């Protein structure tokens, strides 16, 4: 099995964030997976222009739904990044074949998905701060994964 870190986005709703994540994944060598539906059209010319500059569309795996995503990941470890977690990413041992799942910018992931995933991590933040931008969060976590797994 080809081991590679995977970043998965659950129903992303801001195209600029998704474009920035595509750029980060392309530059750092992670595979990107998108769970649909998205809050924007992946076929939009402006979005496709950004994608084509950094990542071949064939390198982005699309899932029609979260059901399809979880069925395909049946025997793989999924790590959910969430502000609702109690464990910090700095205390976690990442593996070369992990899929790191990030929730929708506006709402995270539904409670049912929280319950499906054993490993839930957060990026510690100062009190009274809601969350980081998802593109920044992906960069932080991907850098830590690469450091630990020495994939890059």
> What does the pLDDT look like over 17-66, one tens digit per residue?
998 898 899 888 899 999 999 988 777 777 777 666 666 666 789 999 99
Query: In angstroms, what CA-CA distances link 138 with 15, 37, 74?
Result: 15, 20, 23
pTM to 2 decimals?
0.91
> What does the pLDDT look like over 65-108, one tens digit per residue?
999 999 999 989 999 999 999 999 999 999 999 999 999 998 89
Task: Spell out the domain ranges in the chain.
Answer: 6-149
Q: What topology does CATH give the domain 6-149?
A: Alpha/beta knot (3.40.1280)
In angstroms, the CA 16 to CA 58 distance is 20
What is residue 79's three-state secondary structure?
Answer: strand
């Amino acid at each position: 099995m080809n081991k590679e870190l995977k970043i998965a986005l659950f129903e992303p709703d801001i195209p600029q964030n998704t474009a920035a994540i595509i750029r980060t994944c392309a530059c750092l060598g992670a595979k990107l997976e998108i769970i649909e539906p998205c809050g924007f059209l992946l076929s939009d010319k402006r979005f496709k222009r950004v994608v084509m500059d950094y990542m071949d569309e064939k390198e982005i795996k699309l899932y029609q739904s979260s059901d399809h995503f979880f069925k395909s990941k049946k025997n793989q470890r999924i790590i959910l990044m969430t502000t609702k977690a109690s464990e910090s990413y700095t205390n976690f041992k990442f593996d070369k074949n992990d899929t790191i799942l990030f929730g929708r910018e506006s709402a995270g992931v539904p409670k049912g998905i929280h319950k499906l995933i054993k490993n839930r991590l957060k990026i510690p933040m100062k009190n009274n701060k809601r969350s980081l931008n998802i593109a920044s969060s992906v960069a932080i976590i991907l850098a830590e994964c690469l450091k630990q797994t020495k994939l890059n």
